[in-house]
Chains A and B, each alone.
Chain A
C-alpha cells in the first residue's frame, strides 16, 4: 500500500542542515555583517578606508603579485617535470615520479623557515660564503617578495606536477600516435598535439596553484611580516591582532576578507569560463603505456635538472632544519662538536606548549575527519541520492569554508564566537573553536568524497537489492555502505593529513593552553628560538611523513604521495 511517511533520511538531513547552519552559515554571515554593517547599519565605510590608506590596499596588489608570479613559475616547472616523467626516457624516472611530489608533504611555512636558514642573512649559504671570503658582507639577502615567490614555487610546483601528470597518464596515446604516423617528429608531436590537448589541464592546475598561493598564510608570515611586507592574509592577521588598539580593526579585516574572497572567486570564474569552452574529451579511462620520447643527448642534462629540483626542494630544506635542530645555538657552525639532542629533549619533554600542541594536533587530526565524514555523508546522500532541495543546498554551503581562504574563514569564526551565545555558551578561547573550525573547513572533503562514490554507485545495484526483497534500510546496509566504504576511508585520511599540519586557521584561533603543533612551531620561530622551532618542525615533518606512509599503505596508494 502507498505510504507517505516521514523517512528517517529526511530527519537526518534536517539535523545536518542545522549543524551546517551553525558551523558554516553563522560564521560566514557574521563576517558579512561585520564587513557591510560595521556600526550596526549598512555602510561601505570599511571598504572606503581600505582604499584610502596605502598600507591597506598595497597588500592587495602584493597578494596578487606574489601569487601570480608563483603560479606561473610553479605551473611551468610542474608541467615540464610531469612531461619529463611521463613521456621521456630520463634515467631514474620511477624515482623522480614520487620524489617530485614530496615537497607537497612539507608544510609551506616550514619550507619558508628552512629557506631562511639556508639563504637568509645568517643562513648557511651566506655563512659559508662569508667564512670562505673572510668578509662581513653576505652573498645575498633573501627576504620579502622574491623570497616568498621562491618558497611558494618550491612548495607549489608539486601541485601542478601532480595534476598535469594525472592528465598525461590518462590521455589517450592514440592521439599522439596518430600525429606520429602522420609524420610529425617527437618535438612536433609535443608542440602540436600533447601541449594543446593538455592546455585545459595545465590551466586548471594553474588555477589550483593560484588559489592555494593567494590564501597561503605561512610563507608570507615567515618571510614577509618581519620585514613589514604584508599581503592580504598577513594583513588580516595583523589587523585582528591590532583590534585592541585600532577600534575598527575587525571591520577592516572583515572587509579585506571579502576583497580577498572576491579576488579569488573572480579569477576562478573567469578562468573556468575560458577553460570550459575548450574542454577536450581526451581522457580515456584506462591507464595505457604511452609512447616514450628518446631524449638522446639531452638525457643527462634533463636528469641533472630533475636531480637539482629534488635536491633544492627536498634535500636542502630538510637538511637545513635537521642541522639547525641539532646545533646547540643558532649561528654556531653546524659541525659535529656543536651537535646535541638538547633541542629535541626541550621541545618533547620540557616545553609544555610544544607538548600540548602535539597532543592537540593529534586529537584534531582524529576528531575532525571523523565528524566531517559523518556529516559529509549525510549531506552527500541527501544531495546525490534523494535529490532533495535541502540536500543540494547543503552540498553547496558545505563547500564554502574550503572555497574561501582559511584566514577568512578563521576570522568568521572569531566574529561568530567572540561573544557568548545561547546564554553562557562560548567556545572562544577553547580547544573546541579549533575543532569546530577544522570540521567546517574540511567538511567539503567529506561531501565530495562520499558524493563521488555515491555517484559511481549505479542505481541498478540498489534496485537489484529491492527486487530481491530488501527494503530501503536493508539495501542501504548491505549494498550502499559497503560500496562507499573505500570513499569514506580515503576521505577520512584526506582530512587527517592536512589537519595534522594545519597552521592558517590555528594561527588565528589558538589561545594559551590550546595550541596546535603548527602554532607551537611558528611561535617558537617568531620568538627567535630557531633551534627549538627547527627541532619541533623536524618532529612535525617526521609525523607528517610517517602518517603519509601509513596512509599510502592503508589505502593502497589512493591517498598520500
Chain B
C-alpha cells in the first residue's frame, strides 16, 4: 500500500492535450475516483499511473519513488511498478485456467508453486469464487470473469490497485452489488484504490474522494458529499446529479435579506448566499429534491403551475412553471398533483454561481 502523487502532469497526443496540468495527491489506503464524461482524460491519467502512457510533462510518484518524470528521464516499466489493475474488458486470459490467471502475478515474485496456488485460492475466496479455480474463463459468466480480474489484481498485494471502468460491462443489478463488494474489499485489505468511471453512482457509493474531470482538467476534488452539496461551479453541479440552473440577478429583498431575483421580470425573490460585493447576473442551482411543493393555502412559497407529472416509484417527478421558468422537482411520498394544478414552491439550499465563473466552457457530450 502506498500513496500516489500526480504532480502537474500533462499528456499531449500529437499536439492535442488529453490531460493538462493535473495535480492530485492520493493518500495511503484511500479510495479515489476519477469521474468525468467520456474523453475527459480520466483513463489517460490512470494509464499514466500504470506506466502504459508516458506523461509529456510532470511527475508520477508511487510510494516514495518517482516512477514517471520525463524531465528527469525516468520511466519505470509497468511490470516494475507493483500495481494491480482491472481492465474494462477484464482481460482475463482465455487460454489459462482461473487459478493460473490469478496466480500469474505471483510468478514474478519468487514463490513456490504450492504457495502460489494457495495464495491464488485465498484471493479467489476473497472475491467469492471458491471452487472455480480449475475452470476456464469461457465457462464463467461476465460477473465471475470480473471477479477473476479483481482477484488477479490484488493477489500480489500491490501498492496500488487501478480500476478502469470495471463495472461498465455488467448488468444493472450486478453492478450495484459489485459496488458494495469492491468497497468492502478495500476496507478489508486497506488497498489504495484509483478508480475510473463515468457513472456518478459508482463514484458516490465507493469513494473517499472524487476527482471530477472535464476536458483534461480537474474541475473539483472533494468527498462525494462535497462535490454534490458544494459543487465548485455550475458545470460540476450539472454533471453530478440533477439540478435546475436558473438565470438570475443578485438583489436584496425589501427587508434587506440578500438573495437573487429570478426570471426576466425579476419578480421572484429567492434568498441565498451571494459573494460579498457581487451585484451582477449569474445562475442559481436548485436540486429537484430541494424543491418543496405545497397546495395553495397549506404553505408559503412562489406561485407555480404543474406542467408535467411522472410517477417513478420512489419519487414523483414534476415539471412546474414559475412565470417563464420551468423547474424540475422530485417529491417523495404520496402527494398527488395533476397537470394544471396551482401550487406553491419553496426553493431550499440554492447555490448561486456568478456569471464570470459561468463563462467556463460547459459542453456536455
* Bound complex: CA A321 to CA B83 (Å): 68
> Chain A: how many interface residues by the 8 Å CB criterion?
19
Question: Cβ of A468 and Cβ of B79 under 8 Å apart?
Answer: yes
Check if A460 is an interface residue, CB within 8 A of chain B: yes
Question: Cβ of A467 and Cβ of B89 under 8 Å apart?
Answer: no
* Bound complex: CA A467 to CA B154 (Å): 11
What 0/1 readout, one digit per residue, does chain A (426-459) give for beta carbons within 8 Å of chain B?
Answer: 0000000000000000000000000000000010
Contacts of B74 in A (CB 8 A): 1-2
Q: Which of A1, A2, A464, A467 contacts B93 (CB 8 A)?
A: A464
* Bound complex: CA A482 to CA B88 (Å): 22
Contacts of A460 in B (CB 8 A): 87-89, 91
* Bound complex: CA A467 to CA B108 (Å): 11
Check if A279 is an interface residue, CB within 8 A of chain B: no
Nearest CB on A from B155, distance (A):
9
What 0/1 readout, one digit per residue, does chain A (1-16) give for beta carbons within 8 Å of chain B?
Answer: 1100000000000000
**Shortest Cβ distance from A465 into B: residue:** B104
Contacts of A470 in B (CB 8 A): 79, 104, 107-108
**Shortest Cβ distance from B70 into A: residue:** A2
Nearest CB on B from A28, distance (A):
36
Cβ < 8 Å to B, chain A residues 1-58 = 1-2
**Shortest Cβ distance from A479 into B: residue:** B93
Check if B350 is an interface residue, CB within 8 A of chain A: no
Question: Cβ of B152 and Cβ of A469 under 8 Å apart?
Answer: no
* Bound complex: CA A479 to CA B93 (Å): 7
If the complex has contacts A1-B74, A458-B89, A478-B104, are A463 and B52 also in contact, measured as CB distance less than 8 A?
yes
Nearest CB on B from A347, distance (A):
46
What 0/1 readout, one digit per residue, does chain B (77-96) give for beta carbons within 8 Å of chain A?
Answer: 11111111101110101110
* Bound complex: CA A466 to CA B75 (Å): 14
Contacts of B76 in A (CB 8 A): 1
Check if A308 is an interface residue, CB within 8 A of chain B: no
Contacts of B78 in A (CB 8 A): 463, 466-467
Nearest CB on B from A489, distance (A):
13
Contacts of B162 in A (CB 8 A): 467
Question: Cβ of B87 and Cβ of A464 under 8 Å apart?
Answer: yes
* Bound complex: CA A162 to CA B335 (Å): 66
If the complex has contacts A2-B75, A460-B89, A463-B52, are A468 and B108 also in contact, measured as CB distance less than 8 A?
yes
If the complex has contacts A1-B76, A463-B87, are A469 and B52 also in contact, measured as CB distance less than 8 A?
no
Contacts of B153 in A (CB 8 A): 467
Check if A367 is an interface residue, CB within 8 A of chain B: no
Check if A366 is an interface residue, CB within 8 A of chain B: no
Contacts of A474 in B (CB 8 A): 108
* Bound complex: CA A467 to CA B84 (Å): 6
Check if A228 is an interface residue, CB within 8 A of chain B: no
**Shortest Cβ distance from A466 into B: residue:** B78
**Shortest Cβ distance from A470 into B: residue:** B79
Check if B114 is an interface residue, CB within 8 A of chain A: no
Question: Cβ of B91 and Cβ of A469 under 8 Å apart?
Answer: no
Contacts of A469 in B (CB 8 A): 79-80, 82, 105, 107-109, 156
Nearest CB on A from B327, distance (A):
42
What 0/1 readout, one digit per residue, does chain B (42-57) give for beta carbons within 8 Å of chain A?
Answer: 0000000010100000
Check if B334 is an interface residue, CB within 8 A of chain A: no
Nearest CB on B from A182, distance (A):
32
* Bound complex: CA A463 to CA B50 (Å): 10
* Bound complex: CA A447 to CA B79 (Å): 30
If the complex has contacts A468-B105, A469-B108, A470-B108, are A463 and B91 also in contact, measured as CB distance less than 8 A?
yes
A460, A471, A479: which has the most chain B beta carbons within 10 Å?
A460
Question: Cβ of A466 and Cβ of B77 under 8 Å apart?
Answer: yes
**Shortest Cβ distance from A485 into B: residue:** B95
A1, A469, A470, A471: which has the most chain B beta carbons within 10 Å?
A469
* Bound complex: CA A460 to CA B84 (Å): 13
Check if B173 is an interface residue, CB within 8 A of chain A: no
A458, A460, A464, A482: which has the most chain B beta carbons within 10 Å?
A464
Check if A292 is an interface residue, CB within 8 A of chain B: no
**Shortest Cβ distance from A463 into B: residue:** B52
Cβ < 8 Å to A, chain B residues 128-156 = 149, 152-153, 156
Contacts of A1 in B (CB 8 A): 73-76
Contacts of B87 in A (CB 8 A): 460, 463-464
Check if A483 is an interface residue, CB within 8 A of chain B: yes
Q: Which of A463, A465, A478, A483 contacts B94 (CB 8 A)?
A: A483
* Bound complex: CA A458 to CA B87 (Å): 11
Contacts of B109 in A (CB 8 A): 469
Contacts of B79 in A (CB 8 A): 466-471
Check if A319 is an interface residue, CB within 8 A of chain B: no
* Bound complex: CA A469 to CA B107 (Å): 8
* Bound complex: CA A466 to CA B78 (Å): 6
**Shortest Cβ distance from A474 into B: residue:** B108
If the complex has contacts A460-B88, A464-B152, are A2 and B107 also in contact, measured as CB distance less than 8 A?
no
**Shortest Cβ distance from B95 into A: residue:** A482
11 further interface pairs, Cβ-Cβ under 8 Å (given A464-B85, A464-B149)? A461-B91, A463-B87, A464-B91, A464-B152, A465-B104, A467-B78, A467-B79, A467-B83, A468-B107, A469-B82, A483-B94
Residues of B within 8 A of A (CB): 50, 52, 73-85, 87-89, 91, 93-95, 104-105, 107-109, 149, 152-153, 156, 162
Could you list 13 examples of A-B contacts with CB < 8 Å?
A: A458-B91, A464-B93, A466-B77, A467-B50, A467-B85, A468-B152, A468-B156, A469-B80, A469-B105, A469-B107, A474-B108, A479-B93, A483-B93
